[in-house]
Structure 1
Amino acid sequence: MITSSDYDRSDDDIDTPDENEEDPVPGKKKKSSVLVVNEHTDFTKLKWAVGIRFPSREVFRDCVTRYSIAQGRNCTFVVSDKSRGKRLGVKCKEGCPFNLYGSWDNSQACFLIKTVNPKHHCQRTMEKNRQLKSTWLAKQFLEVFKATPHLSAKDIIETVRRAYKIMINKSFVYKVKYYAHKLLHGSMKEHYSKLGSYMLVLEQEYPNSTFTLCTKPHVRMSDPVFFRMFICFDALKQGWLEGCRKLLCVDACFLKTFLGGQLISAIGRDANDQMYPLTWAVVEGENNDSYKWFF
């Protein structure tokens, strides 16, 4: 005989276990979740613990840097061995018991923290932090330099003080600006290495023009080094001959880069008494030899 169940007469909803839920097993501990640490972690509140995983040794190194700067701790890397399990050890300044040790774990295919003493006996300081490198700070402020490339040293010092509670000096600021400029625009060596291709394209596109690139050998470098460059477009030359006064003014100005050099230019006057650039050259300096070569 089939009778209706007590559940059929109940008004309460019945909760059924999810497919992914497992029935609790007596005596079996639930596996704890592993803390994920990355560049988006709040390093002002980070507590180090054994078992924290990182995808690589480099990510762990970057997280230690961010932690040291955020909490004002002068941490240093004391054990660094890529050949033996990519080991990396960290300690704080002398007298502070804080230390970290991690290495690559093949079974879990990640960089794992294996030893931790999270206690600090040192106090936060606003002096220069060992982990605050100019290259690292340039990467952090890259968008700032992109929006305001001529940010003054005073403004950068104040921005770093507010963001990281660390005081830096002007010489450090100039290093930061140099590396930021290098990241945004490339190095001078990369720029000058493209001059040969640039001059070749100009010669192909403007066959009647005059383009000259002078290089000289270098003692310590296999590639030749830039020496002088001369540019004169045929259209400018014809325009000066047909529509300008037969007068040329020649002068030079400094190139304001750390490489130095001079920009020599020949300027004419057109019918409206406006300046008419005819030709220009980049030379090593303003001297008799460079002027003779230019003329």
Structure 2
Amino acid sequence: MNGSFLRLYYLKFHKLKQGKSVRSKDMVIRHAIETRRQLNVCKNDKVRFRVVCLGSNLTLGSCERKENQIVVVKTIESKHTCLQTREVSLCTISWIAKEIEPTLRVNPDIPLRSIQEMLQQKCNPGSTCKIDIEPEANPSSPTRQFRRIYICLQGLKEGWKLSGREIIGLDGCFMKGPYPGQILSAVGVDANNGIYPVAYGIVESECAAFCDRQKGIIPALARMFPNAEHRYCVRHIHENMKLRWRGLAFRDLIWKCVRAVTPQEFDVAMKEVYKENKDAHAWLKEIPPRHWSRSHFSGRSKSDLLINNICEVFNKQLVGGRDKPIITCLEYIREYLMKWLVSVKKIIAKVDGPLTPTIAKRFEFTKKAASNYRVFWNSETKYQLQSIGANEDQCIVQLDKKTCSCRKWELTGIPCRHAVACIWD
């Protein structure tokens, strides 16, 4: 039984006081439908409440009623040995009738097909789908026109919460068919440093957190996510800079500022920009460095991503559906996400060890570089390192806090070569 089931029981039963009815079995039916398991309430009295899986022959949940009649979950077992089923015996005709009764009272003439679709929509509980239509009907049409839709599937939502890095790129691409609009996407980064689509939508026009510095998105993000760090796509900053200052020199200088990992390195790089062109330096100074330079990024997201290519990779996969009608396009995106999840699962299934393939390869290079340092123990978890050779490189590592003065461990969440050298010592 997954964690959501445990939370479901605790939240539902925690507030039940003496004299109120207990709808325990109804929750079991809903969970049986969600997980497609043959569940059964084998004990439901004044003292105990127990649920078992008939296919696995195991006890899923055991609850105890206290003196104040509050039900508390005591044990949880989550290892099923049975296969999922398409027919859940607890989902009886009487239960379905209770489910659709409120809808029938409001709309007695609702077609049977609509009732079936309504019930089928609940097969993916937790998914979010918001549809916006015109506030008033078109004078030439009795129905109101579609404006925009937002979709976030439960599987993607939960997967990103469990394994995704705390970074999301925002971008959009134009639809090419007879129905103008844009596909907006929110794409994250998974544990393998690959793309992880989180949510998507279709809008009539771009409704302006990676971005092209569109006006309106900064106050919107500040209002919805006041504690979130907002980064700009450096490639777009460079494109805007090229409108006034062209040449490889400016390109190299701006990327030197971007890749600086400490404030001191950033200041040195900005001085080089000042020597090259004072106006370009003043233009860059107007952009707060916390939005575009690694030197001012926090380590919360465990990602040093500088460009919004994660969204561009996702948008490229949608080319085949962008010229289709809206519903067909949405179905194209859903099928792509389904195939993408399967392919990622196959890759991870072949992995030996705790590291994902991309991180494992990166770690091999890190280990080779770590052999070029002398390690000096400073205290319990502090170390000083000095490189071997003419190119002197000195850093301070604190293993318990997972920090290094080079800041790469803090920014990426992956031990840098200095940290690896200390761990080996």
Q: Under TM normalisation by the shorter chain, which class is it? A: 0.3 to 0.5
Higher helix proportion (structure 1 or 2): 2
TM-score of the pair, normalised by structure 1: 0.33
TM-score of the pair, normalised by structure 2: 0.24
Pair member with larger Rg = 1
